[in-house]
Every structure is written in structure tokens, then in C-alpha cells.
Structure 1
């Protein structure tokens, strides 16, 4: 396997929709990253729990269609971990209200993360999993730690919305710092960077925890990259949206796929030109996802991305 993507699923509601109206083509960061990578030529494994309702069956079918293996399927009616009610304020800004289904964060467990699976892979990615005191959080931490111990390329997508379920911003920041020693590639937003001391502190943060690359996503304004403490300019394509369209996951899946395509198996092999190329590849992937209005059907293929590369 090329990619082992671990985490619970995230499902968002359509802006202004009534409770219970799912976006049927959403899958959450781990699923989206795995599918985006698979569409770019990688073999991907997705470790999650899929509920046995109509949405769960849809997602399971989508994963199979894209050659992504679901390691565990829950024989239960619970299909999601997090639900977001999205509406517009009077100023036209998006407003989010989050609700968690009882017991949903209990699906993913440490025993689901098997050493043999990680030993047989190249990249370990985790994200969209609560960092509160839960079995899912412990499973995520275990996957990252095993990946680092086995010398794999380890990637993590901080999800501020998930982290805030149990505790203060300070508690969330402490939990992120706890897992950073096991991470090579980190994806965060401006809000998440502020939680860790702000963008100006990123080079010091990278040095302290041994991070190789940090990609700061900027809503609808693309991204900025920091490679071994140096700031890299990411080409100015519109690569992300403000809410859960999957564009950020398309960016990350595209970036990881290009690193793997270039033969990278460890962070030490990354060079500035290679990282710059991977960021551009990911940027186009995210931009194409935005053009397609986001989510799984809009995650582009390698051929689609390469048609738009300069």
C-alpha cells in the first residue's frame, strides 16, 4: 500500500438545510484524502468505521470504486462522527453549529490500527479525528507513533472543529503539541496556527518538533508552505473554500500523491524543488475541486490535474 489514512468520518450539512439533510457526497478528511490520492494513481487504505445505513452504504461503495479499502465496518446505524449545521449570517458569512452523535467517537479503536498494515505502507496520514480523551483519539495517536517508529512518511491534518469537542483552546493546543513529535507533514488553517502561537511562530515550532513541512491553508486564498523552516510561495491559484467542500483534502491528496510519484518514502528525501512541485500539484488539485463545487465527485484525477499545470 502507498497510503494508510486513519480517522473517523466527518459529514457536513448543506448551508441552510434542515437537520438530517446530509451532503450525500461528503466523506470526511481521511476518506477524501485517500480517494484523492487513489485517483492520482496510488493504492490507498482507509481505516474508519462505516455505518450500516444508506449514507454508510453510499460511502462504502464510493471507497470501493476508487480502490480504497475500508478496514473496518461497523454493524450499526451510526454513520457519522460529526455533523455541522451551516447557515449564513446577515453579512453573508457562514455560521457553523456542530452536533456530535452519541458514542460516535467510540467507533475507531486502537486494535483497528495494526502494525502489519503500517509496515506494508509508505505514507501514514491521520486527520478529522477528535483529539479529546476517546478511543478514536488513541487510535489516531497510535497510527502516527507507529508510522514514525517504522520510518514512514507521517502526515497529519489538524481539524480545529473536531478538537474543540472536549476542552478549551489551550487544551487542544497542548494535545496537538503532544503528537507533533511523530509528524513530518502538517496541514493547518490560520485559526489553527493562531492556536499554536501564530504563523510567525511556525519556523520555531518546526525546529522544536522536527517538522519537515507545514502547509497553512488560507480559506479561498490558496496556501503557504514552510519547508524546513523556510517559507515557500505556493502559486496563487484559488485552491480552497471556507467550508467543507473537500478542496483542502484534494490539495493534500494531490500533494502526497506527487511526492510518492517522485519516489519519496521518507521525509529526509524531500528537497525544496520537489516540495515546490508537490505543492503546485496539490494546489491545482484543490482548485479543480473548488471548480467542481467540492466533495468526492469533484476530487480530480492525475490526468485532469496535469492538463492545468503550467
Structure 2
């Protein structure tokens, strides 16, 4: 596939999504299996848009791990830094879509392979050749993953690459919120771009006021804060400007994965050197496509699909 231009680091799990829509998870009878996890979804999203992308993560030494490796390779994602963990199993997530509300999700990941990605898994020579590193911050929740994430951010910054943080704030993965804040602050000091939904923005910015939260994050040295607000569109903050972008109208089926599609599309825009308005519009269109589909990774759009939405301002599933 040639030299990898962007790496993602973090969660790589199996998603099991309920076939029955609007049914509580406890009552669901059947599930569809997909590749999942924010870093993996973002990698697939970038690959479908045409980027040369690699993933840094781990899978278990089990059938689900084999499934994930095969799906990544089928999608054209470089798996040179996806290791097979000799101890921990592949993580799982069960989800029950509850449109138009957020889906009900149950994680099985204590312990799991992707959380234990190691600093020794990093190929720094390959990482130094990339232009962008995207870190899903749930990697910070476990000591091994934390070391790998921070080392990768440092290495990418030293080589002149752009660091993007997907805040991916999941309180259930942490023992204490203050512990999480400490490591998030360390990561933010090495970040150029921050992607966050509203709760994540409030957590990292330590206030429910979006503008004040963004200011706090920008004060760490971050250049751009992109706040995903669902049906309220997107807010963009930098030192120079503040922007509000309306959403693309769409019928909601499953809210999971839309943020990953948005992030993948935004990073694709960074790779292309697009100006900020174009990046935001492109990312909003990608997110709108996925919110109208059942899965996360399998729902990721192609470049043609996103451009068609931008042209016609309508989503087709």
C-alpha cells in the first residue's frame, strides 16, 4: 500500500450490534458481528476515503482476533503494528440501537488485548514517516496503553507530524476521574487537534461552558478544538476563529460510529491540506451517513458517498 501517511492508536474490538432496533439490551435475541473500537473505526474510515492508514493496537490470540485482523486487511489498513497479545482476549462491545437516542452499550474489556498495547509494539521508524497520528484516549486508561500512546505522541511530534486526539472519554474505563484528568492533560500538551463530543469537551475543559472549555484546551498548546454536537452541528475553536456549522439532516438509526466517521473525514481533510470550512463540511457529511446505518466500521462511507451528500445535501442508506 506504500508508505503509511496516518496511524491511529487505540481500541480494536468486536462490536456485537442488536438486530432488533429499539429493544432493550436485556431483551435482545440476536446480534450482528462487526469490527469495532474507535481507533479501528477511524482507520477503516480513512482507508475507505483513500488514505494510506495503519493501526497501532492489539488483538487476542483467539478467533475474534483473527476476524479483526482479516477485516482490517480486507479494508486496506496496514496491520504491521497490530500485535497478537499472548495473554489477554479480544475485547467485546454489545450494543442495542435506541433511535433517536444514544445506543445502549455494554463493554467486556477488563482485561482485554487492545488496552494492553505496549510501547514495545511501536515501530518508530514507520511512525516517523507518517504525517498524522490519531490517538483514541481510552488508550490512556491502562498503564501499558498509556505508555504506548504518550510515547507515540512524543515520537510523532519530534518528527514534525500532526497529533490528533480523539478524547473518547469513557468514565467506566477509569478508577478515578482525577487520574484520568492527569493523563489527559499530559496528552493534550502534545496535541495539535482535539476531537470531542459535548461531554468529552466538558471533561477535558473542566467546565460545561463549551467556549470556556475550548479556551482551557487551547491554552495547553492545542491549535484546534472540534466539538461534535450531534443534531446541533459542530463548533470549531482555534486561537483565530470560532465557527458553528449546522448538521446535515438525517434520519437517525444508530448514533454509534458517527463520531468516528466524522473524525476520519476531518483527518482526511487535514491530509489533503483543505481549509477549515471544507474540512468541517466534509466531516459533517460523513458523520451523517453513518448515523443512518446499523454498524460503525461497515457503515464508513467512501469518498464518492461523502461528496454526493455534499452535492445533494441528502443521505441515502
Could you say which TM-score interval applies, normalised by the shorter chain? 0.7 to 0.9
Secondary structure of 2:173's partner? coil
Q: 1:188·1:215 contact (CA, 8 Å) conserved in 2?
A: yes
Q: How many residues align?
A: 298
The residue number in structure 1 matching 2:77 is 68
Q: 2:221 aligns with which of 205, 210, 218?
A: 210
Q: 1:255·1:279 contact (CA, 8 Å) conserved in 2?
A: yes
The change in CA–CA distance for 1:55 and 1:168 in structure 2 (over 3 A counts) is: same
The 5 Å alignment of 1:1-310 reads 1-14=4-17, 16-17=24-25, 23-70=32-79, 71-74=81-84, 76=86, 78-81=88-91, 83=93, 95-102=104-111, 104=113, 107-127=116-136, 129-161=138-170, 164-195=172-203, 196-198=206-208, 199-228=210-239, 230-238=241-249, 245-262=256-273, 274-310=275-311
Show CA shifts across 1:75-120 (max 9, x none).
65855346456587xxx77555544333546630001122111111
Distance in 1 of aligned mates of 2:102 and 2:48:
32
Q: Quote how far apart the aligned CAs of 1:11 are.
A: 4.4
Q: 1:221·1:240 contact (CA, 8 Å) conserved in 2?
A: no
Deviates more, 1:124-133 or 1:207-216: 124-133
Secondary structure of 2:247's partner? coil
Runs of 4+ in 1 over 6 A off after TM superposition: 19-22, 239-244
Task: Note the residue ranges of structure 1 that are not aligned, 5 or more in a row.
Answer: 265-273
RMSD: 3.1
Deviates more, 1:76-85 or 1:48-57: 76-85
The change in CA–CA distance for 1:150 and 1:23 in structure 2 (over 3 A counts) is: farther
- In the superposition, the TM-score normalised over structure 2's length comes to 0.82
Show CA shifts across 1:177-220 (max 9, x none).
12111101111121122222231323422442111111112244
Q: 1:239·1:285 contact (CA, 8 Å) conserved in 2?
A: no
Q: Quote how far apart the aligned CAs of 1:146 are.
A: 1.2
Secondary structure of 2:43's partner? helix
The change in CA–CA distance for 1:175 and 1:106 in structure 2 (over 3 A counts) is: closer
Q: 1:219·1:241 contact (CA, 8 Å) conserved in 2?
A: no
Task: Note the residue ranges of structure 2 that are not aligned, 5 or more in a row.
Answer: 19-23, 312-317
